[in-house]
Structure 1
Amino acid sequence: MPHADPRLLQRAEMFAGLSPEELDEVMAAGALRRLSPGERIFAQGDAGVTCHSLLEGRVKIVQTLPDGSQSVLRFIGPGEMYGTVAALMGQPFPADALAVTESLEVRWSVPAFRELMRRHPEIGVRSTASAGTRLFDLHNRVSELTSERVEQRIARALLRLARKAGRPVEGGVEIDFPITRQDLAEMTGSTLHTVSRTLAAWDASGITGSARRRIVVRDMPGLEAVAEG
């Protein structure tokens, strides 16, 4: 049976500020689940009956489009919620959730999560604010896809990942989980060939350093300049 310190929940914005006793209550209302790389947490179209928070590891959210292509909507890190909006609205999950690395999540049934919001109204308030932030981010992503060159979109995607999940290493900032060129293509509405060609050029010029499933941003100002066009 998995075990986790309830204080890990404080990484999630909606649980920040809760007392240790309240965090114990929130954790006890849910169920812990360990995840292996590649494991599917829920599938696009499944009934939205659970709310999820990541405690450790990385998860990616992938949507299959009507033409059969896939779009990586975002990567989830520790402290982030996922599946919650669809579940609370009684809607099917709009995308797949897949573990990228060994991960640990806590999930709540919708009735259990609604009861937590009733007992602790600040959870509901922060949940609404979090949903608004994601909607704003989605609007920005759509704007990028329709108005920017592909090199700009790839640069912005790498900057977001480096700022959110970067760790200092010799010579730059490494994205701290495995990410493939196909992932980048699906994040940016591009192709594997274009992403590979772009990264090769940036590697040669010293902006990035990439190997199999690993990317280091070596020149952050240079990458920012590409993103700004």
Structure 2
Amino acid sequence: MARNKVRVQDFLSRTALFNELAPAELDRLAQGTSQIQLSRGDMVFRRGDPCLGFHTVVYGQIKLSFISPLGEEKVVRLIGAGDGFGEALMFMDKPYIVSAQALADSLLLHVSKASVYAELQRDPAFACKMLASLSMRLHSLMVDVEAYSLRSGTQRVITYLLTLKGEQCDEGQRVRLEADKRLIASRLNVTPEHFSRILRELSHRDLVRISGREITIPDLCRLQEACAY
């Protein structure tokens, strides 16, 4: 791969979980951290593999998914730079319940379970931050369950668009879909056809303007109001 590896301590020190650790503590964690370079399509792990630590994305994009009993892929999360995954299972001593695959050329850091456990025993503050991270993940899961249960497909799509980081342009706010429409549809628990139909309906109402994976939102307030109905 074309990109170089990173200095582990420097990257970890910029993450929310590790940014308050002292240099000596970062050095200890770095000793238990390996760098994994992936090409698009490479598997990080498969469902049923043992969980021996957790991963953080330096660059690239990772898809977490599983296959339903009907043979359909269900996307659980799309993970970008600076985000992590696998913390909860690491503490449960359970195998992975999803598979992870690179959607783009990616670099991951794998922090071993042993190094995390050792740091937890040394530093109560680190334990609190780890608990906070797991609590945020649980809250995100509950938000997803609420959305699937109580919100329409249109409301889920609008909420997704509003959460994307965008940039201001002459026509309004421009955002870019973080993956192809099939994967996003699965993440939002709608079919690809339903997802495309919702985007067309929003476009006909001039709530969005679509150009491939780029979507322009002329008026954020109007789009937010549409999510309330």
What band does the TM-score fall into relative to the shorter chain?
A: 0.7 to 0.9
Alignment gaps of 5+ in structure 2: none
Kept in 1, the 8 Å contact 2:17–2:130? The answer is yes
Partner of 2:102: 99
Rg: which structure is higher? 2
Which deviates the most, 72-81 or 18-27?
18-27
Aligned match of 2:64 in 61, 65, 79? 61
1:136 has 2:144 as partner: no
User: How many residues are treated as equivalent by the alignment?
Assistant: 223
Residues of 1 paired with 2:199 and 2:141: CA distance?
A: 24
Partner of 1:22: 25
Q: 1:91 Cα shift?
A: 0.6
Normalized per residue, the structure richer in helix is 1
Kept in 2, the 8 Å contact 1:154–1:184? The answer is no
Q: 1:58 Cα shift?
A: 2.2
Matched residue type, 1:40: M
Residues of 1 paired with 2:38 and 2:207: CA distance?
A: 34
Tell me, what secondary structure is at the counterpart of 2:7? coil
Kept in 2, the 8 Å contact 1:74–1:187? The answer is yes
Residues of 1 paired with 2:175 and 2:49: CA distance?
A: 34
Kept in 2, the 8 Å contact 1:11–1:78? The answer is no
Distance 1:139 1:105, change over 3 A: same
TM value normalised by structure 1: 0.86
Matched residue type, 1:3: V
Kept in 2, the 8 Å contact 1:14–1:122? The answer is no
Residues of 1 paired with 2:65 and 2:196: CA distance?
A: 20
TM value normalised by structure 2: 0.86
Deviations 1:54-103 (A, max 9, x none): 12222222132333323222222322220121122111112122222222
Residues of 2 paired with 1:91 and 1:110: CA distance?
A: 12
- Aligned runs of 1:181-220 on 2, under 5 Å? 181-212=181-212, 214-218=213-217, 219-220=219-220
Kept in 1, the 8 Å contact 2:29–2:115? The answer is no
Kept in 1, the 8 Å contact 2:87–2:134? The answer is no
Q: 1:124 Cα shift?
A: 2.3
Where does structure 1 differ by over 6 angstroms across 4 or more consecutive aligned residues?
none
Tell me the C-alpha RMSD between the 2 structures.
Answer: 2.2
